[in-house]
Structure 1
Amino acid sequence: LDEYRKYIEKDGALERRFQPVIVEQPTVEDTIRILYGLKKKFEEFHNVEYTPEAIEKAVILSERYITERNLPDKAIDVLDEAGSLVKLRAYQLPPELKELEDKIKEIEEKKEEAAAEQDYEKAARLRDEELKLRAKFEGLKAKWKQELAVNRPKVREEDVADVVSRWTGIPVKRLHESDMEKLLNIEVELQKRVIGQDEAIRAIARAIRRSRVGLKGKHRPIGVFLFLGPTGVGKTETAKALAEYLFGSEDALIRFDMSEYMEKHTVSRLVGAPPGYVGYEEGGQLTERVRRKPYSVLLFDEIEKAHPDVFNIFLQIFDDGRLTDAMGRTVDFSNTIIIMTSNLGARLIAHGSQIGFEKKFGVVDYEQMKKNVLEQVKRTFNPEFLNRIDELVVYRPLEKEHVVKIIELQLEHVNKSLQEWGIKVKLHRSFIDWLIDKEYKPEYGARSIKRALQHHVEDVLAEELLRGALRDVEEVEIKVKNEKPYLKPIKKKEKLEAIFNQ
């Protein structure tokens, strides 16, 4: 239709010479029948055999994951490319033939060297050996080709999934894995990365499950969430964990800082500049990124800072799951998870204990804090905006045991980075308690602990490694003595002696 409007409809004299016939795309069942009709031609062309499961998978996966094109076109292309992929893989020389070919090349090089050195006897001997190997190679190759002609390589459903994965960027294992199993395990997987927010994670998981089993509008996004609460307690980390678990990679996270969209004219940056303005052909920052990566998590940081006109665009996305950019293209948001964050809770916490804070750890009344945060949200955002959100998720401030777990998670990352040095770091409980007591600040959340670990662990280790002081060390323990942290290196031989002494 776009091409018809662009090249024919605008020319009245040309347009009246045609009778438009609107052809709707076929259903999934009709497309499967179409592919069965094309099956024989593709099998003859690629010299492969398509399994029934591969044909059905080509239609189902292309319908679900390739949103910019229509059936049967996209399913036919997937089937064609899967056949080509299997053919290329099957027609690579088997290891035995490859090894024989390499040996022939090696003998040929030695023969040329012998001839250059005028050692004709050796050259003749190598020539005879080469001819024998070539005869063997050709015989085995002919037999291999004959076997291929009789037993055509099969195109299976995993080959089709591989093609769709290459096109969409969604890892193959995610296409194979049962969606039901994945949805049932959301809480378990997120809790490995997001510490101390079980209630928030349960609310997110419930909303996503409701959406995926079809209890919501078909075209709406998978989930629309507003994350509230203090800073540094896991709101952004939740978005990253969701992107990795549901879409296979943290690269599926598309992030926007809404402090950049405080002015009225910045709306055009999201959907694209109008015709005639600079940047018209570049498309919008939001629409273009979703168009290229339709399976993603959209993170809008500090949503309360956005201009009211930006919220009007969001209303359409939340309701219909689509948005038309400045170039007239409709972008599908039905396969995205939309997460907005706000630090309204942090501002309330900063004003003292009226929402539940009286000391470094321990919330007197989380429900009261939640109530006050939600009241401020209602005063800040319009009802029509809030009514379109699936879940308002209020994050808890961190308790001491949560901070300890976060330190342990950060230590795992440090040890992973130190693997190439062959060193492992352990933190003594005295150091952990000292670090929390001296460095943890509730108003900054886990970020204050991350900075403290960089200063007291990573910086010290970097200096010691560069000086060569830890060259013979396998394990380092960090302790505290007289209110000062220190490194206790354990040399390899000392560690071995300690094991034997036990």
Structure 2
Amino acid sequence: MLARGGLRCIGATTLTEYRKHISNDPALERRFQQVLCGQPSVEDTISILRGLRERYELHHGVKISYGSLVSAAVLADRYITERFLPDKAIDLIDEAAAKLKMEIASKPTELDELDRAITELEMEKLSLKNDTDKVSKERQQYLDNKLTTLKEKQKEFSDQLKEAKSIRSFKEEYGTLMSLQRQLEETEKKNLANPRELEQSLLLEEVTGLDIAKIVSKWTGIPVSNLEQSEREKLVMLEQELHKRVVGQDSAVESVADAVRCSRAGLSDPNRPLASFMFMGPTGVGKTELAKALAGYLFNTEDAMVRRPYSVVLFDEIEKAHHDVFNIFLQLLDEGRITDSHGRTVNFTNCFVIMTSNIGSHHILETLGNNEGSSKEAVYVMMKQKVVESARQTFRPEFMNRIDEYIVFQPLDLSEISKIVEFQMRRVKNRLKQIRINLEYTKKAVHLLAQLGFDPNNGARPVKRMIEDMVKKEIALKVLKRDFVEEDTIFIDVDQANNKLVTKKLENNVHVEEMVA
């Protein structure tokens, strides 16, 4: 019928489905004239949204500002890469309006979360009612205190909600009356009635650009809304946050913090990753740990690309990758996206890309040894030049030129190793707290562990093994033998005669000096 002209047919499909079902049949393909419908521009999308605005306002019963239409088109184009305009922008407007309507008509999210938390705690308290052991009683006491605090917050929220509803009700009644009166006066003067203006006078709540930004953040996990004061303060002090996990390496921490601040201030290139770094230096000096610390700060998790487009992407020991992998990196670093074998595009424009490498690490130790009298800044410049030159001899120029910054990590000294020992010992202490055993240790014990684990060539890695062998294993054995039980305090000190660690139970009446907090 198509060949004879007996059937007039207009079909709509995607390019993928066309290749799969139509292109495989040349005879069928000849019967159709292809008309490619491209994605509309951001400006065209705003015009489309402007035409749909009235329909969505009447459907949801809220006003939709012009600024929210612009935000929906711009943010959808920038951050929601797996879908197309205008569909994704329309969905943003629809969900933001629905969310606002739900907030007006139902219980606020904060109050609902409080109610859920109170219910969970009350159920747990009920399950512990018949338990008489010490742990259960302490848990019951904790639950009572927690419930008291939450119920006070619940009452405060409820009172505020009642007050807000009464104010809104008054505003609706008074505002509608005054608005209708003004409309009537204007209509009588002009002898003209505009139904749209009359309807809008009854819509007192409005969708704004901030509402759209919150929906985008909810969909993608990308913080696109305006910075709150608390986050501004955290970003200004980001170096201190990262130094809680990374000892030393001031230059590396400062460079990473600057990149994060630029991205959150909106100054990064939208067509490239937020930042790309190559961390270079000896093993065990904190290259991977800094990447994990950054991920933990930004996303509250070190794990996590397709489902979490706002991420820290770490490529560890990049020099060991096959040379074909670097062809993929060229597209990733230059265009901010890569395409897999199935034609799916993965977006990296909201990622921090970090690569680590041990190339040229021998130059670091040589430079430090040959320039002991020079200033720290001068030594770092010489060291960085040699390490980067080694990297240029290993990697192709087009790959090296696409990296934003090369960061060279310096070997850790004994004082920095001591700080790492304290950090690792606090971790052991926190784990023992979970089984209700306390741990105390002296500065001498920390210093001895640092001395035994100090190795400029291997950084902090020997420290972890040293604590595993000399602290964790001995404590684990004594816990299993019941030498250490609940409510006991384990004390770690140094036997001066043998220069060895001593792990023992601390009696309540014993006073210990130089104990680490």
Task: Indicate how the Cα distance of structure 1 residues 156 and 424 shifts in structure 2: closer, same or farther if over 3 A, else same.
Answer: farther
SS at match of 2:406: strand
Q: Percent identity?
A: 41
Deviations 1:356-403 (A, max 9, x none): 349xxx999555443432332222222222122111111011122211
Task: Indicate how the Cα distance of structure 1 residues 78 and 14 shifts in structure 2: closer, same or farther if over 3 A, else same.
Answer: same
CA distance in 1, matches of 2:75, 2:241: 25
- Displacement of 1:8: 4.6
CA distance in 1, matches of 2:206, 2:509: 58
CA RMSD of aligned residues (A): 4.2
CA distance in 1, matches of 2:488, 2:85: 59
Deviations 1:338-357 (A, max 9, x none): 211111244556xxx63334
CA distance in 1, matches of 2:267, 2:30: 44
SS at match of 1:298: strand
Q: Report the equivalent of 2:284.
A: 232
Q: Report the equivalent of 1:354.
A: 366
C-alpha contact (below 8 Å) 1:207/1:391 kept by paired residues: no
2:355 is the alignment partner of 1:340: yes
CA distance in 1, matches of 2:360, 2:237: 29
CA distance in 2, matches of 1:193, 1:432: 17
Which moved further from structure 2: 467-476 or 148-157? 148-157
Deviations 1:205-224 (A, max 9, x none): 44555677777754122222
Deviations 1:193-216 (A, max 9, x none): 221011122233445556777777
CA distance in 1, matches of 2:60, 2:483: 62
Deviations 1:142-174 (A, max 9, x none): x99x9799898876777655543443244x7x7
TM-score for both structures, normalised by structure 1: 0.67
Deviations 1:52-87 (A, max 9, x none): 776565445433331111233112223333444556
What does 1:58-69 align with in structure 2 at a 5 Å threshold? Answer: 58-69=72-83
Q: Report the equivalent of 2:326.
A: 311
C-alpha contact (below 8 Å) 1:32/1:56 kept by paired residues: yes
Letter in 1 for 2:367: I
Q: Report the equivalent of 2:219.
A: 167
Letter in 2 for 1:249: T
TM-score for both structures, normalised by structure 2: 0.65
C-alpha contact (below 8 Å) 2:273/2:351 kept by paired residues: yes
2:248 is the alignment partner of 1:196: yes
Task: Indicate how the Cα distance of structure 1 residues 181 and 18 shifts in structure 2: closer, same or farther if over 3 A, else same.
Answer: farther
Which moved further from structure 2: 68-77 or 411-420? 411-420
SS at match of 2:39: coil
Q: For structure 1, list consecutive stretches of 5 or more residues without a partner in the other structure.
A: 103-142, 253-289
- Displacement of 1:407: 2.1
What does 1:139-218 align with in structure 2 at a 5 Å threshold? Answer: 160=212, 163-170=215-222, 175=225, 177=227, 184-206=236-258, 218=270
CA distance in 1, matches of 2:104, 2:262: 43
SS at match of 2:502: strand
Task: Indicate how the Cα distance of structure 1 residues 86 and 412 shifts in structure 2: closer, same or farther if over 3 A, else same.
Answer: farther
- Displacement of 1:4: 6.2
- Displacement of 1:303: 1.3
2:485 is the alignment partner of 1:471: yes
Q: Report the equivalent of 1:241.
A: 293
Q: Report the equivalent of 1:108.
A: none
CA distance in 2, matches of 1:182, 1:72: 36
CA distance in 1, matches of 2:333, 2:212: 32
Task: Indicate how the Cα distance of structure 1 residues 216 and 147 shifts in structure 2: closer, same or farther if over 3 A, else same.
Answer: closer
Task: Indicate how the Cα distance of structure 1 residues 157 and 414 shifts in structure 2: closer, same or farther if over 3 A, else same.
Answer: farther
Q: Report the equivalent of 1:282.
A: none
Letter in 1 for 2:227: E
C-alpha contact (below 8 Å) 1:294/1:336 kept by paired residues: yes
C-alpha contact (below 8 Å) 1:195/1:406 kept by paired residues: yes
Q: Report the equivalent of 1:293.
A: 308
CA distance in 1, matches of 2:40, 2:301: 32
Deviations 1:310-358 (A, max 9, x none): 2222122222223232223333322222211111244556xxx633349
2:440 is the alignment partner of 1:462: no
Task: Indicate how the Cα distance of structure 1 residues 166 and 461 shifts in structure 2: closer, same or farther if over 3 A, else same.
Answer: farther
C-alpha contact (below 8 Å) 2:436/2:486 kept by paired residues: no
Q: How many residues align?
A: 406
Which moved further from structure 2: 425-434 or 241-250? 241-250
SS at match of 2:354: strand
- Displacement of 1:44: 4.5
